[in-house]
Structure 1
Amino acid sequence: MESNSTRVAKIATKMAICDRHEEEQLKKYYSEKGIKVTAVNIGGNINSSITKILESALVAAKRNELIREEHLHEGAVIGATRDAIMQIANRANGLNVGGKIGIAKRGEHISVCIFLNIGLLHLDEVVIGIGHRSLPQ
């Protein structure tokens, strides 16, 4: 049987890899199931974009009411996003990236997934990172 943390991580991944049209459909679908989701586009040089990625994840989570504006909730999103960044940092170091952050929350579980295309000459590399935290209700 699948754990809640695994289910939320899969949903965050779906949000990170979907296009804008699918994103709106998924928001409605998961809302009906009591799962809060959001996604935000990101891009630029990975080294100079880390702060912006953290800010984007935090703002999206607050704006879409996945978290409350309090220290523990904000710290959970930042921590999960940093975990995801650490998983992709070596592959994207110094390169331009474009992609999306997907965030999902159900009950006490919140997951942040970062899905990126890495531009390298005419070759495109793909990388994904994911982080999870538990939050007080």
Structure 2
Amino acid sequence: MNWSSTDIAKASVKMAISSSREAENKLVHSFNKKEIKTAAVDIGGNLIDSIPKIIERALVASKRSGIIKDCHVHDGAVAGATREAIMQVSTKANGLNVGGKIGIARYKEHLSVCIFMSIGLLHLNEVVIGLGHRSIPEIN
């Protein structure tokens, strides 16, 4: 099967909205059967203060799961897609505490990073999602 960038974006969203580690693991195995590499990692804290940590967590998760190689081109793609997703959610979460998850998916040259989070505001919670995509060389 030849998956499109839209399919990979959907995979990253599914990883980001997964409800538990068990659900994540099931998704990882399911996507692996389709040759789609995936990972997810929890995030939280003050959004603005946490941006470097969020990008670092996305990079570490991508490398550990074999989504990317340890090279600056792949690092830059993950960091850029993560930053793009952060910018999409930052207007609602600026200066507030957030909690959520990053979902990362890759198939061949398609790389997608999704950030799904809840924004704490007193007893009211806002939910927000951001998505970034990059095209990078295939892993040989």
Q: Could you say which TM-score interval applies, normalised by the shorter chain?
A: over 0.9
Question: 1:25: which partner in 2?
Answer: 26
Q: How many residues align?
A: 135
SS at match of 2:125: strand
Report the CA distance between 1:97 and its aligned residue. 0.2
1:4-43: per-residue Cα shift (whole Å, max 9, x none)?
1100000000000002221010011111110100000000
Residue in 2 aligned with 1:8?
A: 8
In the superposition, the TM-score normalised over structure 2's length comes to 0.95
Residue 40 of structure 2 aligns to which amino acid in structure 1?
A
The percent identity for this pair of structures is: 60
* Corresponding position of 1:114: 115
Corresponding position of 2:60: 59
- The one-letter amino acid of 2:105's match is A
Q: Give 5+ residue unaligned stretches, structure 2.
A: none
2: CA distance between counterparts of 1:135 and 1:46? 27
Q: How do 1:81-92 residues align onto structure 2 when only pairs under 5 Å count?
A: 81-92=82-93
Paired with 1:65 and 1:33, the residues of 2 have a C-alpha distance of 15
Q: What one-letter code is carried by the residue in structure 1 that aligns with 2:70?
A: E
Alignment partners' CA distance in 2, 1:87 and 1:62: 24
**Superposed displacement of residue 56, structure 1:** 0.3
How far does the alpha carbon of each residue in 1:71-91 deviate from its partner, in whole angstroms, 9 at most, with x for none? 111100000000000000110
Partner Cα separation in structure 2 for residue 37 and residue 119 of structure 1: 28
Amino acid at match of 2:15: M
Structure 1 gap ranges (5+): none
